[in-house]
Structure 1
Amino acid sequence: MDKKVSVVMAACNGERYIGPQIVSILQQLGERDELIISLDPSTDQTESVISGFADSRIKLLHGPGQGIVNNIEHGLTAASGDYIFLADQDDIWHSKKMERILEVLKQDAALLVVHDCRIVDEALNELAPSYFMWHGTKTGFWNNLLRNSFIGCCMAFHRCLLNTALPFPKQLPMHDQWLGLIACKMGKVKYLKEPLIDYRRHSNNQSSL
């Protein structure tokens, strides 16, 4: 039987962009897979947009309302998949993202994969062709402890990582850096120099660039 995939998304006030992102994810999920959306209290119609999909693979949770890190943790705790993908509410997955990442997780003995992305504006106009190049991404535990290059929406990993990474330490500043550093200590981290999402930047992003 094929392994199950859980995509975990933290959402809050995302009605403007979350619909197209959900579409780009659902197109790549199998029947057994799941999209877990942990929705923090919102003042817009995000919940209505999500509910409008009426897709049984979407699991909508009410988030704790304590910021993005706690919201991500809430979603990860509910994930039941063998492979875990993180997703932002306002990006767009490229059509081969899941296929490509699963190939690496299964065949390259990687515990965690982090891939490149194309940075775009609100209208999906390109701002930079490569986050890795723009950010000066470096590999290794110490490099990423000093200056984080792990970007959550570009990460996927084996479920076993959560056995060590959860629960998150209190006052954790960045969930993606924490997950990446734990993975560096536990096993192989693979960097893919392939842009597999459009990483949308706008005035209301929950995460910083």
Structure 2
Amino acid sequence: MHEKHGLSVSVCMATYNGRAFIEAQLDSILPQLSKYDELVVSDNSSTDGTWELLQAYQKKDQRIQLFKNEQPGVIGNFEKAIRLGQKELIFLCDQDDLWQTNKIEVMRAYFQEHPEVTVVISDLIIVDNDFQILVPSYQAMRHTKPGFWHNLLRSSYIGAGMAFRKELKDLILPIPKEVPMHDMWIGLLADHTKGVAFIPNKLVYYRRHGLNTTEIKTTASKVQQFSWRWKAWQLVRKRLRENKKKA
């Protein structure tokens, strides 16, 4: 197990009926953690043996913190894990992906070298259930770049590749129930102060179940997408105003 070198890490994972693939993800993450780091898991009432598997892992590894989520949905599940993460860097984590063996090392080094950056988002390789490559670069597909307005119109913030500094929790929590997704919310708030960096390293195999390449893109109507963006903008403005008053 690694000794502490630099910023400590909380990997925050949301789980729900992921027994079929979560083991591979756990095995890709745990060897990267030092004894000063932690894996925080919030589970949304899984019924397929996910919780029991997590408990078995926890018995062997004290760095694993397990919690049951009472809030509905994916956003509530991630919010619970984020709220409970105690370390200096918060890494978001999907249950069914696979991390490259140097993911934490590369992203931690970037944070240490760029103190002005509050959110770092790596590139992803999109794969199917059998890890056959569907899209070799998420960033190339989405034409990702930082910038608040660019990402409000076409969000390229993706939780599976995202990590952020613990101090950002004061701004992002609680996550409004009306936001389209938690990663968009985090990215917009951080990008408002030019705190987001996209790095080209492909550090995650991002698994899409039974989808072909075209289905990875949103199927929401133009009206729905506009409504989401307008709502996100209103909510971000409101949170920034509230935060200014607190400061």
Give the TM-score normalised by the residue count of structure 2.
0.80
Give the TM-score normalised by the residue count of structure 1.
0.94
Q: Where do 1:38-187 residues align within 5 Å?
A: 38-53=42-57, 54=59, 55-109=61-115, 110-187=117-194
Distance in 1 (CA, whole Å) between partners of 2:131 and 2:210 is 14
4+ residue runs over 4 A deviation: none
Percent of residue pairs identical:
40
**Greater RCO structure (CA 8 Å; 6+ sep):** 1
* Cα distance, 1:126–1:132 mapped onto 2, change above 3 Å: same
Deviation at 1:65, TM superposition (A): 4.6
Q: Counterpart of 1:83 in structure 2: which amino acid?
A: L
Q: Counterpart of 2:97 in structure 1: which amino acid?
A: D
* Cα distance, 1:32–1:123 mapped onto 2, change above 3 Å: same
Deviation at 1:3, TM superposition (A): 3.0
- Aligned residue for 1:186, secondary structure, equals coil
Conserved in 1, the CA contact under 8 Å of 2:148 and 2:188? yes
Distance in 2 (CA, whole Å) between partners of 1:186 and 1:84 is 19
Conserved in 1, the CA contact under 8 Å of 2:14 and 2:43? yes
Deviation at 1:133, TM superposition (A): 1.2
Say how many residue pairs are matched.
206
Structure 1: segments with no counterpart, 5+ residues: none
Conserved in 2, the CA contact under 8 Å of 1:9 and 1:35? yes
Deviation at 1:51, TM superposition (A): 1.4
**How large is the RMSD of aligned CA atoms in angstroms?**
1.5
Residue 40 of structure 2 is aligned to residue 31 of structure 1: no
Q: Counterpart of 1:181 in structure 2: which amino acid?
A: L
